[in-house]
Amino acid sequence: MKMTITENVQRLRAGIPPQVDLVAAAKTRTPDEVREVIAAGVRVIGENYVQEAERIQAALGQMAREVRWHMIGHLQRNKVRSAVELFDMIETVDSDRLAREIDKRCRSLGKIMPILVEINSGREPQKTGVMPEEAVDLIRKISSLDSIKVMGLMTMGPRFGNPEDSRPTFQVTRELFEQIRSLSLARVDCRHLSMGMTNSYRIAIEEGSTMVRVGTAIFGAREKENR
């Protein structure tokens, strides 16, 4: 029998250490599905697209204010103005240009935006993210911006296949995380290591993840994935 969203959340939380944040990856999900997730106790909602976040938050009304909203998809610079109003954290910063645009828009709002720097730890050309060897220089540049605070790192890892295949990418990101934390840079507070999705969150937690972004294991497979 198919489990409900509430049952899925309960099962996941039972298997995830309490210090690990569960981010419900709500890409393409309906307001009713997100509403059930929030009612089940999830306190962080991840969205891939600015337009979807705007639509879902409007549909939820007051309930949208009960949770934190994370941008977990690639953010285009022309969407930054809206993004900084909608989100409480942007997990996918991967360039100085994007960081400066976020800083500029936040400065006009009097807001400081917590961000994670996205690492392309698998060196996959089709994915966004800064290469591991370029991350420290990027974070040094970002740390000079007044309206941004680097709170850690994020990486994608393989979405499908053997979960063990994702372990090396998580190890690379964790080692980089520890290196950056040891530098004691201004406006850099490495608290969050966002790694792992439905297929790989258990491996990610073993490798030090403090934040997992789970969609299918909460909401069920999307229609295209069922075909």
Q: What is the pLDDT of residues 7-29, one digit of tens each?
A: 999 999 999 999 999 999 999 99
Residue 132 pLDDT exceeds 60 = yes
* Mean pLDDT taken over the chain: 94
What are the domain boundaries of the chain?
A: 5-226
Cβ atoms of residues 217 and 210 within 8 Å: no
Q: What is the mean pLDDT of residues 129-154?
A: 96
Exposed (0-12), middle (13-18) or buried (19+): which is 59, by Cβ within 10 Å?
middle
Find residue 146's DSSP bridge partners. none
**Interval 194-223: pLDDT, tens:** 999 999 999 999 999 999 999 999 999 866
Residue 46 pLDDT exceeds 80 = yes
pLDDT at 225: 45
pTM for the model: 0.94
What is the band of 161 on the pLDDT scale with cuts at 50, 70, 90? Answer: confident
CATH topology of domain 5-226: TIM Barrel (3.20.20)
pLDDT at 227: 31
pLDDT at 224: 52
For a pLDDT cut of 90, what percent of the chain falls above it?
87
Cβ atoms of residues 101 and 145 within 8 Å: no
What is the band of 226 on the pLDDT scale with cuts at 50, 70, 90? Answer: very low
Residue with structure tokens 């850099």?
A: 188
